[in-house]
Structure 1
Amino acid sequence: MVNESAVFWSRVLTELTLSFHILYATIGVGVPLMIMIAQYVGYKKNDEHYILLARRWARGFVITVAVGVVTGTAIGLQLSLLWPNFMQLAGQVIALPLFMETFAFFVEAIFLGIYLYTWDRFKSQKRHMFLLVPVAIGASMSAVFITIVNAFMNAPQGFDVVNGELVNIQPILAMLNPAMPTKVAHVLVTAYMASAFALASIAAVKMLKGSKHVYHKKSLHLLMKLGLVFAVATAVIGDFSGKYLAEYQPEKLAAAEWHFKTEEGAPLVLFGVTDGEEVKYAFKIPYALSILAHNNPTAEVIGLDQFPEDEIPPLYIHYLFDTMVMIGMFLLLVALVYVVGKWRNWRFITSKWYTRVIVAGGPLALLAIEAGWWLAEVGRQPWILRGFMKTADGATTSGNVDLMLVAFAALYLILGIGSIIVLLRMFRSNPIEKEIEERHLMKDGERG
């Protein structure tokens, strides 16, 4: 028997946990690659500023990893406590990628510890830099395996259903489901992109506060170039994601685009309001939805009229789609203008107003990550395992989930505020000018 109150609070608590965790998980996936690239550039150019970039980012990264571990553990706990029926049905299928995700994290954590502990123990920066390879790979593979679990929930395969149970399970086939390629690629490149813009935002803040140190200028220049690369990659993979949805989850695409009637030459709808039948005040791009779905401006796109009402996702995901896409295009434009401006010597890219635009890029990139995940999860509703189990059927019947929500909300508040305070104090007490001076004194002492 379904307990509607338990279902509601279970969904709220899961959304809260994932929304909090995804910020630290995104940084946890993207920052190791930024650290490795910075140290590689420093090694190739024999430039201590890039080496220090890697060192300082690595210190801050440790704090985010610690919070990510706690919230990741909370997700695992909540899967069993809040969604026991789902775990009973699909647990045998998702056990393998969950185990592999844990193994990937162990690899990342072990080599991160070795990397940090041996910073001044390697005479060769090249050898020390190689320790970052398993850290970056482990972080990315951790995201790959956990995203495979989510992809399976959207496109389940690799099993048979007998008497309501999954049998003849083929874990590898289940992992290689149709949603996996685009979902994994999208998660990785958006994590890299968001991390680049978040770190660039920090450098821009320092410059706005009056710092003229070349360290921050080099940091900003490197990160904006990386941000541009990953923003372009995000746009390309986003196009593939649209084509996946058109073929495998057409109801999700139709709901996100307020595409109510099946038609050829479908327009792309941006913004607007709807009463569930008619769209008003929207900006429509003719034929764009048909192009997104099928690369053909006259192709037919399936509308919501082809699905039962109880299987149509909530229509507010349209605004999540708009938020994600608009922020992505904004970030791409900001990075493109900066990179071209550097090449063409446009003075305005160093102005305060444009630096403020770059500062805004960091929070906006993380907001786009949130909007994308809300779109992914809410857009699958009413299914927890698409086509096999609805969300209401997968939830617990316990009446104490609301109390769990309060407890976990307090935990996340403490972790969020605590991590911010620790990071701020860490870098305020050890500004880059002080660290460079200390390193020069240490080198002079070694020579003496």
Structure 2
Amino acid sequence: MGNSEAVFFSRVLTELTLSFHIIYATIGVGIPLMIMIAQWVGIKKQDEHYILLARRWTRGFVISVAVGVVTGTAIGLQLSLLWPNFMELAGNVIALPLFMETFAFFFEAIFLGIYIYTWDRFENQKKHLLLLIPVALGASFSAIFITIVNAFMNAPQGFDLFKGQLVNVSPIVAMFNPAMPTKVAHVLATAYMTSAFILASIGAFRLLKGSNHIYHKKALLLTMKLGFVFSIATAVIGDFSGKYLAEYQPEKLAAAEWHFETEEGAPLILYGVLDNGDVKYALKIPFGLSFLAHSNPTAEVIGLDRFVEDETPPLYIHYLFDVMVTLGMWLTVVSFLYIMGARWKLRFIFSTWFRWLMVLGGPLAVIAIEAGWWLTEVGRQPWILRRIMRTSEAATSSGHVDLMLMLFSILYLILGIGSVLVLWRMFRKNPVEQELADRDADKAGDLR
């Protein structure tokens, strides 16, 4: 295997691992907050359904955590095996956030164990709720620290470059780089949003399949409200991300928007196809890109004409941008319609077709997350460490990466199918109606 093949397979394996891991990582970050909110609402309203909601979500969450640990470990392993030159150069800079991410995960896991073990040991549910605060914080900080590593790769700082080595390293300065605020905020908001829509799609699916229990209706309304709130937050942070790119990574913004020539009053291009350098069938929003980049409709936006061709990202990232934005808007609209429909008791929210739209919300949110991460990673190319080290320079020269790719593909296939089957059987054998009936029977027995 030649060096170019090693680079290719290293990139494919890393992309496969990240694409698989991001599903479980997103659930791992977002679900603890959903559990905490459900339990808090249950305590506030003195409603057993929300307490049970928190319990059942926790059972499923534990399975996703287990798979997330495996894939997260795989990423750590692959950083050293597939990208040894990158780790040799930047390892001492990113070691701190990597260590902090591990610490945050342990913090989360310890309190999650205590929370599960003490389900029936607290008469005062408010005290039990307190255990969820470190779980949710640990999950979110785990995402924050690992995202900081990614932000550093996009906006490296906190060191001097001397004879190809990073010296005078300041890990704190490196961590608080210009890319950090928007990246961290975007990752957290999208994780909460996606988790809410996944849980909403489960509730909608149960209603579609004939269960008319109030438990599922409460779950659906709560999660659609949360999904709407975080989809709005995601859109606002996305606007800040555009402004960050315009200032610090203009070549990435230009490639994502097919903005070929530097100009004032630049239009925002959505959809379309590229035909021999010409954009066809696109939706152009006049002055949109100038406003996105600088909050000024007549501002100048740097185009791809200012960059050498071998330092510009692949132009297909425009399609990833389209997918991410379109699905985000779609989820916002569907959740808003459901909330308004529930508020005014409109009949369309009970229709089969609308419930199917909500069922689709979960998978579509995951696709939006995937498109966003591919846009982030591919949009940084050809650099692994922007303006310092190219991806081709960072990869291993090993001739066995193709074998690793095959083995890891089999592992992810087993983990993916296995986790879905375990979750399916767990909840199918223990439906909420049965659990509520058993609980009522236990209460009646205690009264006797």
3-state secondary structure, aligned to 1:282: strand
Equivalent in the alignment of 1:160: 160
Give 1:393 shift: 0.3
* CA distance in structure 2 between the aligned counterparts of 1:275 and 1:378, rounded to whole angstroms: 21
Whether the 8 Å CA contact 1:293–1:301 is kept in 2: the answer is yes
Structure 1 residue 350 displacement after superposition = 1.5
Q: Where do 1:281-360 residues align within 5 Å? A: 281-360=281-360
Aligned to 1:131: 131
1:32-83 Cα offsets, whole Å, 9 max, x none, are: 0000000000011110000000000000000000000000000000000000
The SS at the match of 2:384 is: strand
| TM-score relative to the length of structure 1 | 0.99
Counterpart of 1:198 in structure 2 is 198
2:119 maps to which residue? 119
> 1:338, CA displacement in angstroms?
1.1
Which runs of 4 or more aligned residues in structure 1 lie more than 6 Å from their structure 2 counterparts after TM superposition? none
Partner of 2:141: 141
Contact 1:157 1:174 in 2 (8 A): yes
The answer on whether the counterparts of 1:43 and 1:51 sit within 8 Å (CA) in structure 2 is: yes
Cα root mean square deviation, aligned = 1.0
Structure 2 gaps of 5+ residues are none
Distance 1:388 1:250 in 2: 17
* Distance apart, 1:351 and its partner CA: 1.1
Residue 219 (structure 1) shift: 0.2
* Deviation by residue 1:323-370 (Cα, 9 ceiling, x = unmatched): 000000000111111111222221111211111111111100000000
Matches of 1:102 and 1:165 in 2, distance apart?
A: 26
Letter in 2 for 1:92: N
Within 2, Cα distance between the matches of 1:72 and 1:384? 19
Using the TM superposition, give the Cα deviation of residue 276 of structure 1 relative to its aligned residue in structure 2, in angstroms.
5.5
CA distance in 1, matches of 2:345, 2:289: 38
Q: 2:380 corresponds to which letter in structure 1? A: R
Instruction: Give, in whole Å, the separation in 2 of the partners of 1:46 and 1:258.
Output: 54
Q: CA deviation at 1:443?
A: 1.9
The code of the aligned residue for 2:53 comes to L
Please tell me the residue identity of whatever aligns with 1:166: L
Separation of aligned partners in 2, 1:299 and 1:147: 30
- Report the equivalent of 1:400: 400
1:191-232 CA distance string (max 9 Å, x none):
000000000000000000011100000000000110110010
Q: Deviations along 1:171-203, whole A, 9 cap, x unmatched?
A: 000000000000000000000000000000000
Residue 239 of structure 2: aligned partner: 239
In the alignment, the residues of structure 2 paired with residue 205 and residue 151 of structure 1 have an alpha-carbon distance, to the nearest angstrom, of: 37
Looking at structure 2, the residues matched to 128 and 409 of structure 1 have their Cα atoms a distance apart, in angstroms, of 40
Matched, 1:10 2:5: no
> Is 1:260–1:277's contact at 8 Å kept on the other side of the alignment?
no
Letter in 2 for 1:160: D
Per the TM alignment, residue 446 of structure 1 is displaced from its structure 2 partner at its CA by 2.6
Secondary structure (helix, strand or coil) at the match of 1:157 reads coil
Separation (CA, whole Å) in 1 of partners of 2:276 and 2:95: 39
Report the count of equivalent residues. 448
Match of 1:267 in 2: 267
SS of 1:281 mapped into structure 2: strand
Return the alpha-carbon distance in structure 1 between the equivalents of residues 116 and 251 of structure 2.
48
Corresponding residue of 2:89 = 89
SS at 1:272 equivalent: strand
CA drift at 1:445: 2.5
1:326 match: secondary structure? helix
Equivalent in the alignment of 2:422: 422
Whether the 8 Å CA contact 1:268–1:286 is kept in 2: the answer is: yes
- Residue 384 (structure 2) pairs with residue 384 (structure 1): yes
Alignment identity in percent?
74
* Partner Cα separation in structure 1 for residue 231 and residue 350 of structure 2: 21
Amino acid at match of 1:336: F
Counterpart-to-counterpart distance in 1, 2:350 and 2:213: 14
Cα-to-partner distance string for 1:370-427 (whole Å, 9 max, x where unaligned): 0000000000000000010000000000010000000000000000000000000000
Q: Which amino acid aligns with 1:201?
A: S
